[in-house]
Structure 1
Amino acid sequence: MNNHAFSNEIRMFWGHFKNELKLTNKSKYTIISYSTTINSFIEFVEQYQKVLNFTNLKKIDIMNFLEYKNLVLEKHTELAMSSKKLYITHLKTFFSFINENLDLDIKISTIFKINIKISKRTPKGVEKKDVKILEEYLKNLKLNNFLNIRNSLLIKVLLYSGARRGELEVLETKNFIKDKELYIINTVGKGDKERILYISSTYIKEELSYYIRNNIEYIATTKSGKIMDGSQIYRSLNNIYKKLGIKYSGVHILRHTFAKNMLAKDVNIVTVKELLGHASIQTTMIYTNPNQKEVQKAYLNTIK
């Protein structure tokens, strides 16, 4: 292999860079995301015809990597712009780390000067009709066995508190503090930051009581008593969506639904920011794009 030595060097630096990500409290999902990009880049390097090293890397090599990703994924269309941007950001950060530690002069600003524009779109939540289906499912779900109780609790915490998947993974019954009509939930959020979630006690009273009676510590727990990881939670929810005939996937869609529901009820955007645990209000603002009916109404009001 022409680039065997180079790929081994990248692997070595990836090990060091991963340690830095851990030491700086990057989330496990951030680390997994970097790992996917850099391992793909290593695979690309090992089959690349051009002999590469840290000083002869060019912008065209990065462009060829993106094309390689297209071919490997066997897509009929190009990679999503957001994916391309993410790959470039990961590699730019990684090679900047290498540059600093090797005291080289890798032309970072030139190599990664690839301007990818992403159109801003309001994150999609579950449509109203599907929210009704999901809530009807929860209403009629018989809480007579562990799996039904667990699934009900997982969905309700996600849908009614705006929790992230990572927060759900580490959530314990001891984190739920009863305060009149609410449970105040202390959890660890993105970037290993402590934050507070809220949920009406009427939503989860029965499920939480079952967990406490049976000494089940973690909310996301398998039938055999093991803590669920993110992929298990993802699959569990997808099975429910499929059963209900609603076409969604994953956990984050429920968080988007929570955010959009709060704003639809005219909750102050600063309050929504706190409920979602966003570091910046700019992140929360992506949920505030008016829909077309609102735009049409505003226009008609101006011409009356």
Structure 2
Amino acid sequence: MELTNSNIVEDLKRWEKAFFTEFSQKNRLENTIAQYHRVIERFIEYSRSIQDEVTLKTINSLVIVNFFTFLENIPTLRRNNKKNGKILTNVTKRNYINILRAFFTYIEDNNDEMHSFSKIFHKLKFNSFEKQEEKISYLNEQEIQRLLTYLDNIYLKNGKTIRIRNVLLIKLMLFAGLRVTEALNVRLIDFSINEASKIYQIRLPMAKGGKEQIAYISARHIQLELEALKTIYDPYEFIMVSENKNHLARENAYLIVNAIYKKAGINKKGCHILRHTLAMRLTEEGVSLATVKKILRHSNISTTTIYAKATAKGVGEALEKI
């Protein structure tokens, strides 16, 4: 069976179906099957929050550690497990790990590439279960300033359309929190400005989950890029295209962004860290979880709580702070 043929969520679902087809035929008790199903379903739910940065091939022990942070922020678990302030005991964690180990061992034994997952669980130790806030990869303030200085003062000097496009791509992820797949599908027609607040609303017809969503960004961050691109692109065309008008692939976007990081003196990689950067900046500014959830368009606030706890502010006011 192919190890991967889609994103991590769809791949895990495919393997889950195959796993339970065999697992349920081995005279397992109904309660055992239900428990395995619950744990694997929760892991798949968690994987939705990392699908832009992790694939089935690149899962590591940190992904498993962060899964437990995700679990401990699920509201139903918090309500039902208040004893001594602990959400998951070590016994429960071991049980979850054993179930995940069995699931990934099945994938290891049945994938065509003979890809191994054993080292993930071999390296896993319970003293590694730290707060995920400390493990999230994001740009600090110095790195952000180095990136913006490089983009504005060096990268854009020759004014090439492709470079303007690349700057917009980065700023949409850094200041609006777009996922890379969402940023790659924007068109000029999708941007509308609220003149009073100077906030752009970005219509995302191809957002995560296939549902149309609205993202927000302060006009001052992208006004120059949009004005320049309006003289070049048809409003209904995708902005993120090559010189030959081919739609920019996600893999190429990673290469572009990573190359810009390197030129800016930033020793980090990946597109999704820009979205993480927005989330961390907002929470560090004391923005309420409800507002951060709205800006990041999380479907479940338990995903938002991974970043931090904060106090209430409006979307426009919050975006003006960064």
Helix, strand or coil: the match of 1:260? Answer: helix
Q: How far apart are the structure 2 equivalents of 1:259 and 1:282?
A: 14
Q: How far apart are the structure 1 equivalents of 2:240 and 2:295?
A: 21
Taking structure 1 as reference, are residues 284 and 125 closer, same or farther at Cα in structure 2, changes over 3 Å only?
Answer: same
Taking structure 1 as reference, are residues 157 and 79 closer, same or farther at Cα in structure 2, changes over 3 Å only?
Answer: closer
Q: How far apart are the structure 2 equivalents of 1:234 and 1:87?
A: 33
Taking structure 1 as reference, are residues 287 and 228 closer, same or farther at Cα in structure 2, changes over 3 Å only?
Answer: same
Asked whether the 8 Å contact 1:154–1:219 carries over to 2, the reply is: no
Taking structure 1 as reference, are residues 226 and 55 closer, same or farther at Cα in structure 2, changes over 3 Å only?
Answer: same
**CA RMSD of the aligned region, Å?**
4.0
Q: What's the counterpart of residue 308 of structure 2?
A: 288
Question: How much does 1:116 deviate?
Answer: 9.1
Q: What's the counterpart of residue 257 of structure 1?
A: 277
Q: Which amino acid aligns with 1:154?
A: L
The correspondence of residues 1-304 of structure 1 with structure 2, limited to 5 A, is: 10=1, 29-30=7-8, 33-34=11-12, 79-80=60-61, 82=63, 85=100, 88=103, 119=129, 120-122=131-133, 123-140=136-153, 141-142=156-157, 144-180=159-195, 181-187=198-204, 188-216=206-234, 217-288=237-308
Asked whether the 8 Å contact 2:240–2:247 carries over to 1, the reply is: yes
Asked whether the 8 Å contact 1:143–1:149 carries over to 2, the reply is: no
Question: How much does 1:161 deviate?
Answer: 0.4
Q: What's the counterpart of residue 74 of structure 2?
A: none
Asked whether the 8 Å contact 2:289–2:309 carries over to 1, the reply is: no
Question: How much does 1:86 deviate?
Answer: 9.2
Question: How much does 1:221 deviate?
Answer: 1.6
Question: How much does 1:151 deviate?
Answer: 1.3
Question: How much does 1:257 deviate?
Answer: 0.5
**1:83-122 C-alpha deviation (Å, 9 max, x unpaired):** 6959937968xx9xxxxxxxxxxxxxxxxxxx99772411
Asked whether the 8 Å contact 1:186–1:194 carries over to 2, the reply is: yes
Q: How far apart are the structure 2 equivalents of 1:242 and 1:125?
A: 15
Q: How far apart are the structure 1 equivalents of 2:296 and 2:232?
A: 30
Asked whether the 8 Å contact 2:194–2:200 carries over to 1, the reply is: yes
TM-score, L = length of structure 1: 0.60
Q: How far apart are the structure 1 equivalents of 2:256 and 2:105?
A: 30
Taking structure 1 as reference, are residues 284 and 156 closer, same or farther at Cα in structure 2, changes over 3 Å only?
Answer: same
**How many correspondences in the alignment?**
218
Runs (5+) with no aligned partner, structure 1: 1-9, 19-27, 42-51, 59-72, 96-114, 291-304
Runs (5+) with no aligned partner, structure 2: 29-56, 65-96, 111-123, 311-322
Taking structure 1 as reference, are residues 282 and 79 closer, same or farther at Cα in structure 2, changes over 3 Å only?
Answer: closer
Q: Which amino acid aligns with 1:209?
A: E
Asked whether the 8 Å contact 2:283–2:309 carries over to 1, the reply is: no
Taking structure 1 as reference, are residues 284 and 89 closer, same or farther at Cα in structure 2, changes over 3 Å only?
Answer: farther
Helix, strand or coil: the match of 1:273? Answer: helix
Q: Which amino acid aligns with 1:207?
A: E
> Once the two structures are aligned, what percentage of the paired residues are identical?
28
Question: How much does 1:142 deviate?
Answer: 2.1
Helix, strand or coil: the match of 1:130? Answer: helix
